Amino acid sequence: MCGIVGYIGKQKALPIILSGLERLEYRGYDSFGFCVFNSKPLLYKEVGKISLAKALAKIKSDGLIGIGHTRWATTGEVTKENAHPHSGCKEEIFVVHNGIIENYKQLKEKLIKEGHKFKSETDTEVIVHLIEKYFKDNLEKAVTRALKDIRGTYGLAVISVKDPDKIVAARLSSPLIIGVSEDEFLIASDPSAIITTTRQIIILEDNEVAVIKKDGLTILKEEKELKKEPEMIEWDIEQAEKGGYKHFMLKEIMEEPNVIEDAIRGRFILEEGNVKLGGLESVEKKLREINNIFLIGCGTAHYACKIGEYMFEEYADILSQSDFGSEFRYRKPIVDKKTASIFISQSGETADTLGCLKEMKEKGAMCLGITNVVGSSQSRETNAGVYTRSGPEIAVASTKAFIGQLTILAMITVYLGRQRNMSLTEGKEIVSALKKLPLMAKEILIQAEEIKKIAKKYNKYKDFFFIGRKYNYPIALEGALKLKEISYVHAEGVAGGELKHGPLALIDKNCPTIAICPTDAVYEKMISNIEEIKARKGPVIAIASKGNEEIKKIADEIIYIPKTLEILTPILSVIPLHLFAYYFADSLGCDVDKPKNLAKSVTVE
């Protein structure tokens, strides 16, 4: 999400750090900062974009060691104080960090009692205070000790004036690489930040700590030294920005398991069969009274709303209605004190959605948001809400953000359900199943090559249907939207039961259908729909549950997904559809990341 760059060596550190940070900005950052050691530390932070020329004209430094960071806010708003590096009470130790510290609130409370003074709202700041607390005379020892208190994920880099000739870096589930050159080393969260200086890199693995000095590098794991040889990366800048993938869209689909993991991280209270959503704490009491929810969003976010509607009604017993932002404006919603509205948006800047938010506020409804971009208009205008933490989404086609939205909706369902009639057992069951989803999502992505073959095989067809029922009806809509927006073929999502009311007239051997039919409450009905299609010679690609052998008798192609609870199936069933759309469009040579006529953020009504 955020970007880290560090340098130690024979050259001036500042220009190298700044140009590295500038190269990371393609991911859409909101603030940046660095700390370089001259005779004393030079700490600088700013909100907004980096202007290398401007920064270098303004700031002079001959320091040969430093760390820098571009922030994409997750915990705490976009402010100078929240930008990294963070320092402890004495401004002697400096930290840049990517990831999420789950137990930061507890740690912060304890550190404050011990006399530490905090300057920001971030989770990161606890790391530097912990290092300060444990520091005696050696930075890596203090870092290693501090990490023992931390629960969460991190890629971090630390420097200290009290142990000044080294950078200490550590990683757990957040990427960090070390660039190796003659008498100099760089660290970065992303190869694109350093490959103009060196292509020799060492990838830091989980639980490894690197001690980087200008004349040598030591990597420690459980305090024992490891031998690691640098490897050569051949990527050019453009490939590096995409993590080696051909397109951002593919990179973002491949990040879907991590998105689920980040969305749920630190948000479960397993023993209570419940979730902890900090962003809803302020409205907790009011939410208990709610008996009517409107869910509003556009495009893909609207399909998330539709799934939320099914979830809330089935598990939280709340009357729920979803609508497009662009249509809801023309309705006359009945709003009273027991009405809540939830606005879902990746960008938090979609004009149609924001317009509805304004109207619902005026009508006095509680307005909640599910947003990816911290500090966006939506997140500022809503009364409360939950961030998806999906990281920057660059491709115009929304993929990983949708997965984040569905994961949050499932958690809000548990939250609302447990406030009402959901039993402890049921709550526990959903929470445990959610925990297993990241691995299951990875299992689907392993089939990417198979899905690619299917997509190529079908890329001559010009019309597609996508069908599904219940939770997977909106997934049919999403699958069709994704295919049409990036490959320009006609695709229509239909509720399985609606086929015979009209669309069936179009089915023949030239019109394939993608049928989303996991083994759930509506499986038998979906099989009947597939039979209707097969009777008219329509080719069928089935998205079915692992272990379903019977489906082989009727479907032409099958993509298997792992079994999970019915409420969570859409989070898995959409993954093969994202891959299918991607490979289909790519095989036609389409400009996948920037489809014609479309924009990433639609800020006009």
Give burial (CB, 10 Å; 0-12/13-18/19+) of 121.
Answer: middle
Closest CB to ligand M6R among residues 88, 595: 595
Look-up of token digits 């303004």: 58
Residue 301 touches ligand M6R, criterion: CB under 6 A:
yes
Among 61, 198, 258, 347, binds ligand M6R (CB under 6 A): 347
Long-range Cβ contact pairs of 307-310 (< 8 A, separation 24 or more): 307/406, 307/409, 307/471, 307/474, 307/475, 307/570, 308/342, 308/344, 308/409, 308/412, 308/413, 310/470, 310/471, 310/474, 310/567
Contact 7, 13 (CB under 8 A): yes
For ligand M6R, the closer CB: 168 or 367: 367
350 binds ligand M6R (CB under 6 A): yes
Q: Is 299 in the site for ligand M6R (CB under 6 A)?
A: yes
Contact between residue 122 and residue 82 where contact means Cβ atoms under 8 Å apart: yes
**Taking the complex as a whole, how short is the minimal distance between the CB of residue 343 and ligand M6R, in angstroms?**
9
E strands within 469-556?
490-495, 513-517, 540-545
Both tokens of 483, joined, read 């295919």
For the bound state, the minimum distance from the C-beta of residue 199 to ligand M6R, rounded and expressed in Å, comes to 34
Going by their DSSP bridges, the two strands 319-324 and 366-371 should be labelled as unpaired
Q: How far is the CB of 485 from ligand M6R (least distance, A)?
A: 6
Strands 292-297 and 268-269: unpaired
Judge whether 133 counts as a catalytic residue: no
Q: Is residue 493 within 8 Å of residue 479, measured between CB atoms?
A: yes
Under the binding rule (CB under 6 A), the answer on residue 300 touching ligand M6R is yes
CB-nearer residue toward ligand M6R: 141 or 600: 600
CB of 404 to ligand M6R, least distance (A): 10
How far CA 20 is from CA of 195, 201, 451, 502, in Å, comes to 9, 15, 36, 56
Tell me which of 298, 318, 365, 544 binds ligand M6R, using CB under 6 A.
298
Phi/psi of residue 188, nearest 5 degrees:
-160, 155
- List the catalytic residue out of 2, 356, 367, 517: 2
Residues 476-505 vs ligand M6R: string with x where CB under 6 A? ---------x--------------------
Q: How far is the CB of 221 from ligand M6R (least distance, A)?
A: 41
Q: Please say which residue, 349 or 463, places its beta carbon nearer to ligand M6R.
A: 349
Closest CB to ligand M6R among 299 and 417? 299
- Whose tokens are 């809330």? That residue is 312
Distances (CA, A) of 292 to 312, 325, 471: 10, 18, 20
Least CB distance to ligand M6R at residue 45 (A): 28
**Min CB(59)–ligand M6R separation in Å:** 35
600 is an active site residue: yes
Q: Per CB under 6 A, which of residues 47..106 are in contact with ligand M6R?
A: none
| Closer by beta carbon to ligand M6R, 58 or else 380 | 380
Scanning 117-125, 227-235, 297-305, 504-512 for contacts with ligand M6R by CB under 6 A, the matching segment is 297-305
User: And the tokens for 214?
Assistant: 């200008």
Smallest distance, Å, CB 300 to ligand M6R?
3
Nearer to ligand M6R, 198 or 353 (CB): 353
Confirm if 82 and 120 have CB atoms less than 8 A apart: yes
- Per-residue contact flags (x/-) with ligand M6R for residues 369 to 398, judged by CB under 6 A: ---------------------------xxx
In the complex, minimum distance from the CB of residue 561 to ligand M6R, in angstroms, rounded to a whole number? 21
Q: If you search the block for the tokens 């200490």, which residue do you land on?
A: 168
Between 483 and 522, name the residue whose CB sits nearer to ligand M6R. 483
Residue 247 to residues 243, 352, 593, Cα–Cα distance (Å): 9, 28, 6
8 A C-beta contact, residue 398 and residue 600: no
Contact between 529 and ligand M6R per CB under 6 A: no
In the complex, which residue's CB is closest to ligand M6R? 299
Residues 388-447 that bind ligand M6R (CB under 6 A): 396-398
- Those residues whose C-beta lies under 8 Å from the C-beta of residue 453, and which sit 6 or more positions away, are none
Task: Say how far apart CA 108 and CA 79 lie, in whole Å.
Answer: 19
**Can you say whether the dihedral through the CA atoms of 104, 110, 116, 117 is positive or negative?**
positive
Which window, 18-26, 52-60, 344-352, 525-533, contacts ligand M6R (CB under 6 A)?
344-352
| Extended beta strands in 26-140, E state | 31-37, 41-47, 65-71, 86-87, 93-98
The single residue among 70, 345, 379, 573 that binds ligand M6R, judged by CB under 6 A, is: 345
**What is the footprint of ligand M6R within residues 105-164 (CB under 6 A)?**
none
Question: What is the closest distance, in whole angstroms, from the C-beta atom of residue 325 to ligand M6R in the complex?
Answer: 8
**Window contacting ligand M6R (CB under 6 A); options: 9-17, 76-84, 119-127, 596-604:** 596-604
- Segment holding 418, helix H or strand E: helix 400-419
The C-alpha atoms of residue 19 and residue 66 are separated, in whole angstroms, by: 13
Give the contacts of 288 (CB within 8 A, at least 6 positions apart): 419, 420
Q: Which of these is catalytic: 228, 338, 563, 600?
A: 600
Phi, psi of 438 (to 5 degrees): -55, -40
Size of the site for ligand M6R (CB under 6 A): 16
Closer of 107 and 577 to ligand M6R (Cβ): 577
Q: How far is Cα 305 from Cα 309, in angstroms, rounded to an integer?
A: 6
Distances (CA, A) of 503 to 233, 470, 532: 51, 18, 11
Q: Is 326 an interacting residue with respect to ligand M6R (CB under 6 A)? A: no
Specify the residue, 125 or 485, whose C-beta has the smaller distance to ligand M6R: 485
Interface residue with ligand M6R among 189, 326, 339, 353 (CB under 6 A) is 353
In the complex, minimum distance from the CB of residue 490 to ligand M6R, in angstroms, rounded to a whole number: 16
Q: Does the protein bind ligand M6R through residue 601 (CB under 6 A)?
A: yes
Nearer to ligand M6R, 153 or 347 (CB): 347
- Residues catalogued as catalytic: 2, 600
Residues that bind ligand M6R (CB under 6 A): 298-301, 345-347, 350, 353, 396-398, 485, 598, 601-602
